[in-house]
Structure 1
Amino acid sequence: MRPSRRGAGLVALAAATALVLSACGGGGGGGGTAGDVTGGAPPQAGNDINPVAYDQVRDGGDFFWAINSLPPQYNYNQLDGTERDNKNIIDSMIPEIMKADAKSVYQIDPNYLESAELTSTDPQVVTYKLNPKAVWYDGRPIDWTDFEAQWKALNGSNPAYVVSGTTGYDVIASVAQGATPQEVVVTYSSQYADWRSNFLPLYPRETNSDPNVFNEGWINGPLTSAGPFKLESVDNTAKRVTVVRNEKWWGPPAKLDRIVYVALAQAAQADAFANGSLSALDIGPSVATFQRAQQVADVDIRTASGPNYRHITFNGAPGSLLEDPKLRLAIMKGIDRNVITQSQVGPIVPSAKPLGNHLIVEGQEGYEDHSGVVAFDPEKAKSELDALGWTLQGDVRSKDGKQLALRDIIPTGTPVSEAEARIVQQQLGAIGVKVNIEAVPLDNFFEQFVYVGGFDITHFAWLGTASPISSSSGIYRLVEGTVAQNYGRIGNQKINDLLVQANAELDPVKQRALINQIDQELWNIGHSLLTYQRPDAFAVKNNVVNFGAKGFADYDYTMIGFTK
């Protein structure tokens, strides 16, 4: 299953109880034990990972991390590689030269970079100085040629590379060596504000120089490492990926001996955690999982505000049932997002309310709610459907002999999607819109249905990033002949132009104003119906440190471990 990234940048995530995709683009203390945790604790500002200093973390141990399925692709920059499960795996091995902090700001990782600076604004030039100790597993130093090869693979100039997105790379004019091979000079053809999100993650030139390796070389497993862990095995029978300490890692050694990523159906993960087979449990927006975790002894419930959010994607492709934006907007008015939000996450976060912005989530600067255009109003929805010629014929509306019946495609074994679909089915039934819920296999939900437009509506989550405009561009840009991550094929030239402007705007205040213009237009055309910001909630064995609800931050894989 895929979604994990946005844009070149968001990631769809197949999380413990809800599917999530990443977009492409690019703390606090621990919670209480099972006996003293109650529902309704507000999410912690920043993150909630039980931070412990490196020298206070026990040396050794195995960490068992649940994923929903083995990734179909371990190249995160390839179209099929953007699942969050894949990101959680490759982040232990593949360079993230910058990491987001708890305030959603990118900071350089000194294991990879000595510096990264905007050295000119006209033209825009960014100069990276690499840590000279940084090497790939074969011993070759990470150098400017890795940046050059990734730019050429992802800039859209060669269609043989099936990329998840081109945002940020398509505005680079050149990548060159500076004073040494470890100095990288990136010159842009136009201004690009989110330059920090480029080259995340960074793959070796050997992958990016050959379309066949790029598209197919990483299908069966990662080919190399330049991180604190390396691949030990991919067991397709046991459905496990195991990574172990990388003896060629030049940074602080990982505290864990190994991380074992265990593919389990979401419905089985809570029991596996309860019986000790997992070190942590992603609660996400699942009230049932939250309540189950509270019954487990010696467990912390860690929560934080995070960038992930649930939504309903509408298929507006030419020739589809929902091609007309007026029809999409009328149907959206028949869905009560408050009911969905409270039913799904209210017991975890009682103050939760529907999300109102497609690009910026609450907790990030610039957030504005523009969702009023689809405010719940079933009577207005009915009148608008009547005006469009969709009139009631019995219990279901019809037009020109065709029923207004929507295929709601959801993955099997995903309680959150099933619950949301049932609510939508009931609410839309009240305005004469029939919803047929079709559960399809989890393992190919994205590949065989979402990516190819095989739905009328569908539910999953987007995994946000610290660079919301560049990482979201692929979701909202409409380019003829290209899907990228705009799976509903909905957009217009106004949005395309505003995305270009926002990506080029170096003034953050002006950029946020452009982002909010984009969001208003997305609501106006009925691009997708946001439901709620997905709580970042984890149940964690209380001896686990530097792991849990990471919020907007990235994990430091060298620090994850157990108390001494």
Structure 2
Amino acid sequence: MAHEQEFNAYNNNTADQNAVQNSVVLNNVLDGFWDFGPDGGLRNNTEFGTFEKTSDDPLTVKYTINDKAVWSDGEPIDCDDIVLTWAANSGKFASQETDENGNPLSGFSSASTSGYEDMNFPECNAGDKTVTVTYTKTFADWASAFGINPNIMPAHIVAKNAGVSDLIGALKNNTADQVAALAKFYNTGFIGNPGTVDKANWVSSGPYLIDSWQAGQSITLKANPKWWGTPAKTGTIVIRFIDATAQAQALANGEIQVARPQPAADILKQLQAINPPVKIDQGDEYTFEHLDFNFQGEFKDANLRKAFALCVPRQQIVDNLIKPVNENATVLNSRYKLAFQEGYQGVVQASYSGQYDQPNIEQAKQLLGGKTGVTVRIGYQTPNQRRTNAVSLIKASCDQAGFNVQDAGQEDFFGNGLAAGNFDVALFAWSGSPLVSGNASTYITGGGNNNGKYSNPQVDQLTATLLTQTDTAQQDQTIGQIEKILWDDLATIPIFTFPGVQANDTKVSGPAFQPAQSQQTWNDNEWAVAQQS
């Protein structure tokens, strides 16, 4: 199969490494109590274990790990692993370092602390297969804990490399030097060295394990011999790193059998032209394209953000680059709800006035106060022809208003651009799911996914309220309030919902389009190649 971007970290949970390029490899390598099912929603993974809510007040959930569940090195999956997952994603363990305001940073890096920050210390002892978690308040997405997002990481590996003999004790007592050592390895010890598989530390809890890595070329998954559940139908899967523009040709040549390129009109035409025909699946994804401002740079100026938003040709981007793939595509006007989701129109009506539907160059000029040549570096991950084209359209429009838009695309944008704040405006996509907590860390102050450093106390408060609401109507009302503030502040600019395209050789059974962030490998353990007769 093909994927555009090369894998770079075995721990996909940290703020720096939380990316599809990692999850597409790890989907059936690191397992948990749930995964994303065929419709993109959560489905329970009973082969890993079971869980049940045992109380509403306080919210209490009991987890039972399969007695046979072991890591690929034979170490049992147990209480320690759950405790580490909670600790690493709870935000409760402060670092010795502080942010620009003097506040202590979290020792463990986490893309999102939603839910885990509201849990008490898990109730279990070392080696236990049963764990009870009690919440300090109601959490709407309580069923989304301890699954594949975030992944459950191997506690015994982290403890060994940190030189900590009693992980649970170190965390329970918050022993500063030991917690710091655990956090350091958790944050950095799983980052990949291209071409090298760290077999001692990259232990698997799923049907596959990472067997080999050819830098810049491919990564190979092999069936995990210690896997206790239903065996994978295919013993070997090779994930080749191939640019979207070359995937159709690779599929036609028989170099790959499954492709999931980012949507583009010419790529769809290439797939449709393959002879003999391949199976092509299309659908909306829980993924959306957007522009994010860097609030630590010049765009901390609200008028500058508004001027830029007034010149971004969102409709033209959709018309030129997305409608050829999905003729029903529309401009996206919400960050929490996607165009195909129930409740989208209501949220938009409650929050967005339509002022950024079409470019208004004159108004943008007024907000710039007559200034010209205002530099805007738009960062994104290359190669990506569609985004390169989008930046060109933005430049053609915004330069008329007085901006000097520069294409600042780079191959390692997520690692050294976005995470390092090396951008004025970032162009990328969030991949998600129907969970209301999925966006929480993106817009709250200090959130793990809040790369632009946006901050508004009202958004923080409303987000906290949203995460306690279990009624959909209440959720949508709160989302509308959050979205109105995000539009008023221009925290980000949503552009469009992703139209997904997936194709596979008809000799392969199992691949199926799924809209969640797990992409094509969500069920790669079910793929099989027809035997030649």
The two structures have a TM-score, normalised by structure 1, of 0.80
Q: Which amino acid aligns with 1:357?
A: S
CA contact (8 A) 1:153 1:208 kept: no
TM superposition shift of 1:351: 0.8
Which residue is equivalent to 2:189?
A: 217
Which residue is equivalent to 1:70?
A: 7
TM superposition shift of 1:430: 3.0
Which string of whole-angstrom CA distances, capped at 9 and with x for unpartnered residues, describes residues 443-484 of structure 1?
x212221112211112111111231x32211111123xxx62
Which residue is equivalent to 2:341?
A: 364
Q: Which amino acid aligns with 2:68?
A: K
Which residue is equivalent to 1:202?
A: 152
Q: For the residues of structure 1 that align with 2:454 and 2:185, how far apart are their CA atoms?
A: 32
> Are 2:244 and 1:308 equivalent residues in the alignment?
no
User: Which of 375, 382, 385 lines up with 1:415 in the alignment?
Assistant: 385
TM superposition shift of 1:180: 9.3
CA contact (8 A) 2:338 2:497 kept: yes
TM superposition shift of 1:389: 5.2
Residues 474/434 of structure 1: CA separation in 2 closer, same or farther (3 Å cut): same
Which residue is equivalent to 2:509?
A: 545
CA contact (8 A) 2:2 2:240 kept: yes
TM superposition shift of 1:488: 1.6
CA contact (8 A) 2:139 2:467 kept: yes
Which string of whole-angstrom CA distances, capped at 9 and with x for unpartnered residues, describes residues 513-552 of structure 1?
2122212211111111111111111121122222142124
Q: For the residues of structure 1 that align with 2:234 and 2:424, how far apart are their CA atoms?
A: 45
Give the unaligned 5+ runs of structure 2: 96-106, 160-181
* Greater Cα offset, 138-147 or 301-310: 138-147
Residues 83/194 of structure 1: CA separation in 2 closer, same or farther (3 Å cut): same
TM superposition shift of 1:492: 0.4
Q: Aligned-pair RMSD on alpha carbons?
A: 2.3
> Are 2:109 and 1:162 equivalent residues in the alignment?
yes
CA contact (8 A) 1:314 1:322 kept: yes
Q: Which amino acid aligns with 2:335?
A: H
TM superposition shift of 1:302: 0.7
Which residue is equivalent to 1:425?
A: 395
Q: For the residues of structure 2 that align with 1:306 and 1:510, how far apart are their CA atoms?
A: 24
Which string of whole-angstrom CA distances, capped at 9 and with x for unpartnered residues, describes residues 339-381 of structure 1?
11121121121010011210121333332324434433444x5
CA contact (8 A) 2:16 2:419 kept: no
CA contact (8 A) 1:75 1:218 kept: yes
Which residue is equivalent to 2:491?
A: 527
Residues 208/519 of structure 1: CA separation in 2 closer, same or farther (3 Å cut): farther
User: Which of 257, 274, 284 lines up with 1:279 in the alignment?
Assistant: 257
> Are 2:33 and 1:97 equivalent residues in the alignment?
yes
Residues 356/471 of structure 1: CA separation in 2 closer, same or farther (3 Å cut): same
Which string of whole-angstrom CA distances, capped at 9 and with x for unpartnered residues, describes residues 77-127 of structure 1?
1233212121011112111321233444322111112x3222112211111
Structure with the largest fraction of helix: 2
Which residue is equivalent to 1:15?
A: none
Which residue is equivalent to 2:423?
A: 455
SS in 2 for 1:174: coil
SS in 2 for 1:116: strand
Matches within 5 A, 1:376-395: 376-379=357-360, 382-383=362-363, 385-386=365-366, 388=367, 390-391=369-370
CA contact (8 A) 1:244 1:259 kept: yes
Q: Which amino acid aligns with 2:399?
A: G
The two structures have a TM-score, normalised by structure 2, of 0.84
> Are 2:60 and 1:108 equivalent residues in the alignment?
no
Which string of whole-angstrom CA distances, capped at 9 and with x for unpartnered residues, describes residues 191-238 of structure 1?
2111222223212222454224312332234610111112211232x6
* Greater Cα offset, 335-344 or 135-144: 135-144
Residues 371/343 of structure 1: CA separation in 2 closer, same or farther (3 Å cut): farther
Which residue is equivalent to 1:475?
A: 442
Which string of whole-angstrom CA distances, capped at 9 and with x for unpartnered residues, describes residues 33-81 of structure 1?
xxxxxxxxxxxxxxxxxxxxxxxxxxxxxxx33342231x110112332
Residues 122/425 of structure 1: CA separation in 2 closer, same or farther (3 Å cut): same
> Are 2:333 and 1:333 equivalent residues in the alignment?
no
Q: For the residues of structure 2 that align with 1:473 and 1:408, how far apart are their CA atoms?
A: 24
Which residue is equivalent to 1:85?
A: 21
Which residue is equivalent to 2:207?
A: 228
Q: For the residues of structure 1 that align with 2:157 and 2:332, how far apart are their CA atoms?
A: 38
CA contact (8 A) 2:72 2:225 kept: no
SS in 2 for 1:471: helix
Which string of whole-angstrom CA distances, capped at 9 and with x for unpartnered residues, describes residues 400-452 of structure 1?
xxx42312223332101101001111111233333122333x1x212221112
Residues 299/389 of structure 1: CA separation in 2 closer, same or farther (3 Å cut): closer
Q: Which amino acid aligns with 2:353?
A: G
Q: For the residues of structure 1 that align with 2:111 and 2:516, how far apart are their CA atoms?
A: 22
Q: Which amino acid aligns with 1:446?
A: F
Q: For the residues of structure 2 that align with 1:232 and 1:332, how far apart are their CA atoms?
A: 46
SS in 2 for 1:125: strand
Q: Which has the higher contact order (CA 8 A, sep 6+)?
A: 1
Q: Which amino acid aligns with 2:362?
A: K
| Identical positions, percent | 24
> Are 2:463 and 1:499 equivalent residues in the alignment?
yes
TM superposition shift of 1:499: 0.8
> Are 2:331 and 1:354 equivalent residues in the alignment?
yes
SS in 2 for 1:79: coil
CA contact (8 A) 2:88 2:109 kept: no
TM superposition shift of 1:553: 8.3
CA contact (8 A) 1:144 1:177 kept: yes
SS in 2 for 1:309: strand
Q: For the residues of structure 1 that align with 2:432 and 2:316, how far apart are their CA atoms?
A: 23
CA contact (8 A) 1:65 1:259 kept: no
Q: For the residues of structure 2 that align with 1:384 and 1:419, how far apart are their CA atoms?
A: 22
Q: Which amino acid aligns with 1:68?
A: Q
Q: For the residues of structure 1 that align with 2:517 and 2:110, how far apart are their CA atoms?
A: 25
CA contact (8 A) 2:212 2:221 kept: yes
Q: For the residues of structure 2 that align with 1:131 and 1:534, how far apart are their CA atoms?
A: 37
Which string of whole-angstrom CA distances, capped at 9 and with x for unpartnered residues, describes residues 252-277 of structure 1?
11011211111234443333223221
